[in-house]
Amino acid sequence: MRVEEAKYLAKKIMMAGEIPLLVGHFGVGKTDIARDIAAETGRELIILVLSQMEPGDLIGLPARTEEKTVFLKPDWWPESDDTILFLDEINRAHRSVRNAIMQLLVDRRIHNHILPEGTWIMAAMNPPEEEYDQADLITDPAFISRFFILEVNPDVSEWLEWAEKNNVSKEVRDFIRDYPEFLFSERSLSLRTSLKPSPRSWYKLSNVLKTLTDDEKEKYGYVIAAGIVGPEAAKAFYDSFFQRVKIPSVESVLFDGKIENLEDIHAANTLVLRIVDFLSKVDVRTLERHLDDVSKNLVRLSEIMPRESFYGVLRFLVDEAQKEGEKSWIFDKILEKMLEREDMRKMVNEL
């Protein structure tokens, strides 16, 4: 998203008491976003560059009293409500440092030191790519689920407007205007960890949605939701909320063959998640009763759904059929019937 959009949504997220995480390549303006929000809201900005810190820098040093050991406040600790605490370069921080800030993210405190009530927290990081020096990839879903993830990319017209206000030379501005491809190198951003919905993430999403108008929900609803519950759940939520795409029920697809147009990749992926969840919970007798219908309709689904989405169903069936579980035999039977088709055999071989 554009820098101005990221700034606007980051402010909304913090107003709701939640934590935005700006993900973007170096130089796109992540720190400037924090500075701008601080200036616009009259808040003091405290920047912690986590890659340069050790756990002791975060939790403070121990001191002995007459009866026990206590931890002193670190020198950066906010003293007033009107503060933004900016946790920069969290992906370059050592795991021990990330562990140290977990209590800050969860309880808004470290030891007995509690953040002032109105303190806002935001964070930033580069994408986890080989070109960046990273201490440890973030793969812990419990850690990453504390944030609303906002992917930031510069927009040429937006940057040119900023450049003029900030006295960037006319030669540079004219060059970027004529050759916008040289402003930055376009790359897709990925955290290499799946964002999955949870009771906590839906609660956090609710907190932010309460701060948005109906127009803002329509404009930013999907982006906000995708940053906390993942793209598939966000798409299903957004489409359901605005009644744009109705995703069929799993039973109507598997048992009755009522398969709608599933060319939309997000709708297809949402249906895949629901099918996998349904098959992993449904009892064996129900599947046995509908064995022929399920096998036939899954093959039909493969003809309508984008192939990369349907691979998710096939992978689940193959994995479950190979397990030593109560239901493995029924998944094996479903696969056996599906593999009577040559195109199905080819897809399985491609897994």
DSSP labels, 184-197: --------SS----
Asked whether the beta carbons of 45 and 34 are under 8 A apart, the reply is: yes
Q: CA-to-CA distance for 188 and 153, rounded, in angstroms?
A: 10
Q: What average pLDDT does the segment 283-311 reach?
A: 89
pLDDT one-digit tens code per residue, 94-120: 877 888 788 888 888 887 788 999 999
SS (H, E, C) 201-253: HHHHHHHHHCCCCHHHHHHHHHHHHHHHHCHHHHHHHHHHHHCCCCCCCHHHH
pLDDT band of residue 186 (cuts 50, 70, 90) is low
Mean pLDDT, rounded, for 191-214: 78
pLDDT band at 68 (very low <50, low <70, confident <90, very high): confident
Q: Residue range 134-145: average pLDDT?
A: 66
Distance CA 261, CA 247 (A): 9
CA 337, CA 330: separation in Å to the nearest integer?
11
pLDDT at residue 266, as a whole number: 66
Report d(CA 217, CA 317) in Å as an integer.
37
pLDDT at 160 over 70: yes
- In the CATH hierarchy, which fold is given to the domain comprising 3-191? Rossmann fold (3.40.50)
**Look-up of token digits 């200036």:** 39
Q: What pLDDT, on the 0 to 100 scale, is given for residue 130?
A: 47
Q: What is the DSSP letter of 19?
A: -
Q: Answer yes or no: is pLDDT of 188 > 60.
A: no
What are the strands, taking DSSP E only, across 116-187? Answer: 120-125, 148-151
Query: 318 and 338 in contact (C-beta within 8 Å)?
Result: no
Range name among 13-27, 41-55, 138-152 with the lowest pLDDT average = 138-152
pLDDT per residue over 80-98, tens digit each? 889 999 999 888 888 778 8
pTM, two decimals, is 0.68
> Does the structure show a pLDDT above 70 at 158?
yes
Edge-to-edge strand list for the sheet holding 120-125: 44-49, 83-88, 120-125, 20-23, 148-151
**pLDDT band for position 138 (50/70/90)?**
low
- The answer to whether the Cα torsion of 324, 327, 332, 335 is positive or negative is negative
